Structures are given as structure tokens and as C-alpha cells.
Amino acid sequence: MRKVWFVLVVLAACGRGLEPEPICAPDLVGLCGTLRFRGTVPDSTDAVFIAAYLTVPQTCNDLINNRRPIVPGSVPYTDSAAAYSVALDPGTYHWVVAVWKKLGTLTISPQDTALLRVAGYYRNPVDSTQRGVVPISSGPAAGGIDFVVNFDSLRPATDFVTCTAQ
């Protein structure tokens, strides 16, 4: 009986429960980086989240339906910079975008675009006029996906896609 207890106590002591997990964790499948904030945060701000698209969306429907993750979490936006990470399925993502959301409930439908604005996106490190492409493997996360979020330049979805009905 003593041996059984010894084994169990060791098992319990050595067991790994939940551990601190840095935003860019080694076992993350996805991408991570740092956001730098510019401009004045609007009073109506509810959240700033990161979304990624395997292909560049062409329509409002694409913008909502092809977004990964479907329900993104906010990043902290009150300081001048914030680390972030996003868990994503492996693939090559052609648009990684920071989305500003004003107060209101999302319905995960094209109507959401009324609440959302593009606040910045990851750019090609070689040609900053182009979108950056981020390949994600099932191994370590793609790090260093850093870009700027500009609250003074929040752009509506229609600057990027065609919205036929809202």
C-alpha cells in the first residue's frame, strides 16, 4: 500500500496542470506578433481583433464567412503596443488584418460590417504597399507578424470588398 501511495503522490506532484502560456507559445499553431497603435482610440471602441484569410475576400460575405477564427478575441489596445497571437489551421494566409469593432452585438452575418472597420493589416516586408502572405505550418507558429493599427484611419469594408446588401 505504501508503494501505491508513493507512486500516486509522485504522479500527482509531477503532473503538469495548466501552465503559463506566453502569447507566442512554442506549441501554438497559428501566428503571433506585436501590434503598434497610432491615433486616438474612439470612445465607441468595443474591441480590436485579428482576423486572417486564406484568400483575399472579394465580397462582404467572404469577409464574414471566411474569417478565421470565426469568433476572434480582442487584443489589448490601450497601450502603445500589444503582443498578440491567433490560433489558425495550417495553410497560407493572404490577408492578416486588424479589425476595429464598435459597441454592438455581432451576428456573424454581412450586417456585421456596419460595426467593423479595417484598422491595419500585415504588409509584405519587402514591398510595404502589398499585403503580407503568412504561411502557417503544423509546427511552430509564424512569429514576427508585426504591423500598425491606426485608429485615425479606420476604413470601412467597402474600401476592400464589394458589399451588395447590408
Partner 1 sequence: MLLAATPLPAAAQGVLRGTVHTKQGEAIVGASVAIPGTTLSTRTDLQGMYRILLVPAGRVRVHAGAIGYAFADTTVALTGGDSTTLDLTLRAEPLELPPLDVVSTKVARFGDRPAASVVQVPERAIDERAVNTVDEAVDKAAGVQMLNGQINIRGSTGYVQGLNSRVLLLVDGVPMNQGDRGGISWDLLPVDQIERVDILKGAGSSLYGSAALGGVVNLTTRDVPEGVHVRVRLTGGAYGNPPKDVWRFRDGTGLEGGGDVSASYGTATFGGRLAAGARHSDGYREQDDGDHWQIAGRARWQASPRTRVDMSGAWADDHYAVPLAWCLQGQCDDRGQAFQPFKVATAALGSWTDSRKGYIAAQARTVVSERLAWQARASWFRTNFFDQRPPNGSEFGIANRFGAELRAEAHPDSARTVLVGGEVTFSDVTSDIFENHSQSEFAAYGESEQVLGVVRLNVGTRIDFLAVDGGSLSAVVSPRVGGTVATDQRGGTLRASLGRGFRAPSIAERFVHTFAEGLEVIPNPNLQPETAWSTELGYTTAPLFRMLRLDAALFWTEAREQIEPRLIVDSTGPKIQLQNVTRARIAGLDAAILAAPIPDRLTATLSYTYLSTRRQIAGDTSAPGPLGFRPKHLLTLSADYSLGVVRVGADFRYVSRVERIELEPFVDARRVPVKVLDLRAGWKQGPVELRLLAANVLNYIYNLVPQTLAPVRTITLTAVWSH
Residues that bind partner 1 (CB under 8 A): 1, 4-5, 8-9, 11-13, 15-23, 25, 28, 47-49, 69-71, 73-77, 82-85, 105-109, 111
CB of 46 to partner 1, least distance (A): 9
Q: Which CB sits closer to partner 1, 15 or 164?
A: 15
CB of 128 to partner 1, least distance (A): 25
C-beta closer to partner 1: residue 17 or 80? 17
- C-alpha 38/C-alpha 75 separation (Å) is 15
Between 21 and 152, whose beta carbon lies closer to partner 1?
21
116 near 48, Cβ under 8 Å? no
d(CA 166, CA 113): 8
d(CA 143, CA 24) in angstroms, rounded, equals: 7
CA separation, residue 121 to residues 94, 101, 104 (Å)? 11, 15, 23
Residues 86/123, Cβ–Cβ less than 8 Å: no
Minimal distance, residue 111 CB to partner 1, in Å: 8
| Least Cβ distance, residue 124 to partner 1 (angstroms) | 26
Tell the smallest beta-carbon distance from residue 73 to partner 1 (Å).
Answer: 5
* Residue 24, Cβ density class (10 Å: 0-12 exposed, 13-18 middle, ≥19 buried): buried
Residue closer to partner 1 by CB (options 16, 40) is 16
3-class secondary structure, 8: helix
Nearer to partner 1, 81 or 148 (CB): 81
DSSP 152: T
